[in-house]
Structure 1
Amino acid sequence: MKAGFVNIFGKPNAGKSTLLNALVGEKMAIVSSKVQTTRHRIKAFLNKPGEYQVIFSDTPGIIDPKYKLHQRMMAAVKSALEDADIALLIVDANDNFEECDAIFQSLKLSIPCLLVLNKIDAAANGKIAEAEAFFGQRPYYKKIVKIGALQKIHLDKLLNAILSLLPESAPFYDEDDLSDLPTKFFVAELIREKIYELFGDEIPYHTAVMVNEFKEKDTLVKIQADIIVQRETQKAIIIGDKGKMIRQIGTSARKDIEAFIGQKVFLELFVKVRPKWRDNEMQLNEYGYK
């Protein structure tokens, strides 16, 4: 039996969340084309009873912190560095390789690492060969694996490479579990994903979601959640003309939540203004950024 922690590191938008979802076969991390979508460390388990338990961790993209929220995000990266058995260093095939290299060098990893070259299906001409030449002499990884996470290209090769490095161990978690995070966490994330999908570049980064009520009834699950914003003008944008936008968020999120929990959902959303919440220690704790 093999079991261990396999943690995914890289720049924002390298495809970490897409890779996590593709590897475990479930939507465990929200995905957006916008950078810095992932704010938490999200663990997801890939189990083959009697053979292996791979505990994957998606981590926030590595950035220079500007707010206390960003500091909490980078603390999540640090915690993932501390317990990893294997690191997946993910690189967008079209990205700046020198910037990626600088990040990986700064991690000062002493564990086995795999360099994962992602988005090979969308790579510009010559970029794959350029990446192999650039990273070829780097000392911090055992093997380079070329994949397309969104299209699920070569994921079997990546999993085999992971299993070859995974230590022998008994499982750390129940083999029926998909994560150690509560359902309420994933509900809040699915609502937040819709805000990233429906609004421009500024609004999503000023919002948080807090699930206040999650009640399982005979025929459905009743969920009440607050969307937190920083200013009254943002509240008006989230609500929209005659409530159009918040209804759209609710309808879209409810469908995904129902698919995730396998039950009918009644979803009620409110918008609340909390000025400068991203720099408020108490509010960050309240919204789950610990």
Structure 2
Amino acid sequence: MKEVMEIFLNIGVRDVIDMAIVAFVFYKLFMLIRHTSAEQVLKGLVVLLIATKLSQWARLYVTNWILKNTMTVGVIALLIVFQPELRRALEHIGRTKLFTKSIMEMTHEDLSDNIDEIVEAAIYLSRLKIGALMILERETGIGDIIETGTAIEGKVSSGLLINIFIPNTPLHDGAVVIRKDKIMAAGCVLPLTENPNLSKELGTRHRAGIGISERCDAVAIMVSEETGAISIAMDGKLSRYLDGKTLRAVLKNAYKHENDKPLFRWNWRQKDE
């Protein structure tokens, strides 16, 4: 008890700051992997670590040797398994104002006009049950995705977006990528999500939209070819069956300036058809 008291008495301001930094980092890491497959892997590694210490305490030498070697290999496996999460973390750091200027910076008027055009196109395509996939670039550049499609670099307008997705036209397959007030490219190829918990009814269009939102901070808008339902994906989370008013509010909130208060609070959830 005396030793414990001495430890607490010797804790200084720097120690408190040090512990606060470590606690903050661990909290951010936990929030980053929460509700992902990496969370289950981390739990498994914790169980292995506890089992290793217990085997050492119980003097189970063979078991302890096996677990120690498993943990050594596990460190390498950890880097491989957590690669998507590590990439997202580094991209999040790179998006800070210290390192980059936001590519989302637009006047409120221009931003509002862009959103109105996108929502108008989504509603029209939904009414006619024309499949569509629109990717809105935010702070993380997705030039590699743009290069997979056909360059357009035209001003955002509902008419142009609708014409791109009309069936049997050269560019109706694939995704349209929008950067600021420009439609940069159409027919772009996106990475598919590997999330095993998604509904089996979700097709390639929705899985591609979720996939790009897992990889970066882009917003994906999908229109179902079968039902005409409008969906949106952000940060790897999918919300479906949006009407025009809700879609507009979600987009305004996604593109709000950092100093503004949220324009709309949306509880993300996945709905199955």
Q: Name the TM-score class by shorter chain.
A: under 0.3
TM-score normalised over the length of structure 1: 0.22
TM-score normalised over the length of structure 2: 0.23
Q: Report which of the two has the higher share of strand.
A: 1
Larger Rg: 2
Q: Which structure's relative contact order is higher, taking Cα pairs within 8 Å and 6+ residues apart?
A: 1
